[in-house]
A and B are shown apart, each in its own frame.
Chain A
Amino acid sequence: MTTETSAPATSDADTTVAAPATPGDSNAPGEDTAHGPSTGISNTKLAMWLFLGSECLLFGGLISTYLLYKTRRGPDNLAIPTDVFDIPFTSISSFVLLMSSLTMVLALAALTRGDNHGARVWLLATSMLGGVFIGGQVYEFTSFLREGVGFTNNPASSAFYALTGFHGVHVSLGIVMLMSLFVASWQGKLRQEHSETVEVVGLYWHFVDVVWIFIFTVIYLVPA
């Protein structure tokens, strides 16, 4: 997504203009005398993409662990998370999280067209939807605990809490980022020319959502 900004003085705009149009490949000699990024993708965005690539393996490892252990009750035959799932509840909170991707897109769109107020509203909405999801997770964890599924029960419950917990931490960090953006915007420091910052945070946010689709499917929907 390119930043369509009317302020040619910003460095973002320079980057976009100067960059050769072929991403992923090197530029022809002499073509980038203006020193834009060689790939045409800004450094920050490229870094975020790489980070997310790395994150795929992190969640891949955790999901594999869960798949391996999901029915292991341990020697004492204690309860496992599958026994106490409340799938309608989790479906609703998953829906809330997915909707937050929509509001994230709206936040970026608003900022890109210079609508600071709209950006602020949608940023706040995104983080609040994220907050609802986290609240739901906290509620889910506590109710599971009450029903006798503790972290230390058996491999299945350890793997469940580790996987969903890691995801929850990721969402929480995303909320911190969104709120930081919100505060910056409130102070007038987040303007149209910074839309790429919002876009990069958005990449992270969408990634966290997409990962949840996988996790939700693997944990809650695929039968044991």
Chain B
Amino acid sequence: MRYDIVVPPTADGSLAVTIASWIKEVGSPVIKGEDLVEAITEKITLYVTAPADGKLVEILVPVGEKVKVDDVIGFVEGV
């Protein structure tokens, strides 16, 4: 099963955050709750975490691009 990697609702709905880094590469095994992405504003670092155990299979939003709450930024294929 594919799981969406979603910008968490801890950010203000109108707040754009920038993808600062993907901590895992496509193909890497991931554990549910593990940090996958650092997304930043000027003074806030938000960690986006793995939605399930499995493998990071696709990155939709590269480093440097802006996203908002609830945006899907990649996928994990569950085990």
Q: Do A and B bind each other?
A: no
